[in-house]
Structure 1
C-alpha cells in the first residue's frame, strides 16, 4: 500500500509534464490584411492548433492586451515588423514567442531577398525584427525560477497552517481567529522573504502579501473546516485535494493552455492555481482583471469557515459520556 501511495504521488506530479500539449495559446497579431494572411497561414500550418491568433488594431492595443494577460505576446506586421513578449507570463510562453520571432525574422529576410531578386539588385538588405519584452521579470530572477518555486512551499504553508490549527486549537471562533492571524502574519512573512529578501517577485509589497495571505487562508480554512465536520479523516482533504490534485495543475510551471484539457481550467478553480495566478498578477500584471482568482480563493475560505461553524454547532448537540451527571449514571446502572 505504501508503494502504491508513492507511485500515486509520482504520477500526480509527473503526468502534467508528460502530457503537455499546448493548444489555443492566445497571441495577438496586427498589421495590414495583405501582410497578415501569409503569416497567419504559415503559423496555422506549422503550429497545428497551438495558437489562437487574436487580431488587434495596432501595437498599442496589443501591448494593452499583454499587460492585462489577455494574450501572451504579439506579432506586429506594420511598416516595422516586431514581436512582443512578456517573460513575466512564464518561461514556456516566452520561449514560444522567441521561436515565433525566429520564424518571422526568417520570413522577413526571405521576402527581402525575393524583392531584391525581382528588382535585379545584387545586395540583399539585412532585415532585423525586434523582440521586445513588454513585461520583463525582475533583475534578480531573470528566468522566473523564484516565482515558480513559490508554488509548492505555498501549498505546504496552507496545509501546515490548517493541520496545525485543526490539532492544536479547539472551539470554532478560536479556530477562525487563528486562521485569520496565521494568514495575515504568514502572508506578510512570505512576501518579506520572496520580495524583500530574495527579490524573486516585483510589484506592490502589500498586494503580494495579500495574495499570499488569501491563499493560505483558503487552504487552511478548508482543511480545518473538513476536520471540524468529519474529524481527523477530514484532514486528508489537504494532501489529496491541494497537493496531489491542485498543485500539479495549478499552472505554476506551465500555463493552463499547456495542460491536457480540461485540467488546466479546473486547476484555476482550486486554491493553488488561483493563488499562483493572483500572485503573478499582483507581481507583474497590476492592470489585469484579478476578480476571478480573488473570488475563487474567497469562496474556498468561506466554505472552510462555514464548515467550521457547522461542525461546531453539530458537536454542541452531542452530550459526551463523561459529562452525564453522576445521579443519571447511577439510575441507568440500577435499571
Structure 2
C-alpha cells in the first residue's frame, strides 16, 4: 500500500497529462521536420523567360509550364534588365534569357535566396537545353556570401533570436517564486523582454557581421532591428499563451515556433521546394517571416520585406495585448471577489463588550 500511495502522489493526473503532451510534441516534431524536409522538390517556382522575339518567349514559356511535376511557374519578362530587377525585388527566383542567334542561353539565379534552389534551377535548365544541343551560362545576380554555406546563416540567425524570445518569456513565467502576472508584473515582464530583445538583436547582428564571423553582409542596424522584432514577437507570443493556459502555453509556443515554424521557414530548403502545407504556413510564422527579411537585408537590398515585417509586428502586438488584457481581467476579478466577500465581525473585548 505504501508504494501505491507514493505512486499516486508522484504520478498525479496533471503530471500525466503534461507527459502525454510532451510525447505528442515529440511525435509532431518528427512528423513536421521529416514531412517538410525528407523529399524537397521545386514546385511552381516563379521563373522569368526573356527572348528578343515575343513569339519565341511565349513558346519557351509554354514549354517550361508543361515540364513534368510543374517545377516552374514561368512568365514572359520583357528584357534581361527587367528580369534582374524582378529577381532583386524577389518577384521571381530565376530567369532564362534566350539567344536565338546562338547556342548558349543565360540562366539568372540568386543563391542568396538559397543555394539549393539556385542549383535546382540550374539542373532543370541544363536538362531542358541539352537535348536541343544548347548550353547554359549561369549568372548569380545575388550571390550568397562565401562564408554563408548554402545560404543558411540567415535561418540560423533567426532561429537563435526565436530561441531567445521563447526562453526569456518561459524563464520569467516559471522561475522559482513566479506568480501569475498582475498588470504591473506583466508590464515589468514585457519591459524586460523588450530590453533582452534589443540586446539579442544587437548581439546577433554583431556576431554574423564582418567584425566577427563575416557570415552575412547587409546593414548592421537593419539586422539589429529585425532581431529585436523577432525576439519580441516570439517572447510576447509565449507570455500570452502562458497567461491564457498556464504552463501548457510553453508547449503551445514550442508547437507554433519550433514544430511548425522552423521546418516551414524556408531555411534548409526555400519555400518553393517545400510541400504545400509547410509552404503555406511558413510566411505567417515568426521563423519564416524573419528568415525572409534577413535574406532580403543581406542579399536583396532590403526589398520585399513589408509583408513579413507586418507578420512579425502582428505577433508582437497581439502577444503584448493578450498578456496585458489577461493580467488586467485577472486583477479585476480578484478585486471584485474581494469586494463581494462578507466583512469579518469585529473582535470582542476580553470582557465581552466592544471597546
Is structure 2 residue 309 aligned with structure 1 residue 294? yes
Instruction: Give a deviation string over 1:269-309, Cα, whole Å, max 9, x none.
Output: 11111111111111111252211011000000001110121
Could you tell me which runs of 5 or more consecutive residues in structure 1 were left unpaired when the two chains were aligned: 112-127
Per mean C-alpha deviation after superposition, the further-off stretch among 50-59 and 9-18 is 9-18
Q: Does 1:16 align with 2:30?
A: no
CA displacement, residues 240-295 of structure 1 (integer Å, 9 cap, x when unaligned): 11111111112112222222224312221111111111111111112522110110
List aligned pairs for 1:213-224, cutoff 5 A.
Answer: 213-224=228-239
1:189 counterpart residue number = 203
Match of 1:64 in 2: 85
- Report deviation, 1:329: 5.2
SS of the residue corresponding to residue 268 of structure 1 reads: helix
Q: Give the number of aligned pairs.
A: 314
SS of equivalent to 2:95: strand
Alignment of 1:149-160 (within 5 A): 149-160=156-167
Is the CA contact (8 Å cut-off) linking 1:165 and 1:178 kept in structure 2? no
Query: Is 1:130 paired with 2:137?
Result: yes
Q: Which runs of no fewer than 5 residues in structure 2 stay unpaired? A: 1-19, 348-355
- Give the 3-state SS of the residue equivalent to 2:75 in structure 1: strand
Q: Which whole-Å CA distance do the structure 2 matches of 1:107 and 1:222 have between them? A: 53
* 1:87 counterpart = 2:111: yes
Offset, 1:237: 2.2
Where do 1:158-173 residues align within 5 Å? 158-167=165-174, 171-173=185-187
Q: Which runs of 4+ in 1 moved over 6 A?
A: none
Q: Equivalent of 2:213, from 198, 203, 206?
A: 198
TM-score when normalising by structure 1: 0.84
CA contact (8 A) 2:157 2:204 kept: no
User: Could you say what secondary structure the match of 2:142 adopts?
Assistant: coil
State the distance in 2 between where 1:330 and 1:199 align. 73
Find the aligned partners of 1:151 and 1:158 in 2 and give their Cα distance: 11
Q: Secondary structure at the match of 1:183?
A: helix
Backbone CA RMSD of aligned residues: 2.9
Q: Secondary structure at the match of 2:284?
A: coil
CA-CA distance at 1:129 after TM superposition: 3.6
Q: Deviations over 1:137-195 (max 9, x none)?
A: 11222532433433433332221122123345751211121121111111001111122
d(CA) in 2 for partners of 1:288 and 1:107? 37
| Residues 1-335 of structure 1 aligned to structure 2 (within 5 Å) | 1=20, 5-18=25-38, 20-31=40-51, 32-37=53-58, 39-78=60-99, 81-103=105-127, 106=130, 110=133, 129-167=136-174, 171-195=185-209, 196-319=211-334, 328=343
TM-superposed CA distance for 1:37, in Å, is 4.8
1:136 Cα offset (Å): 0.6
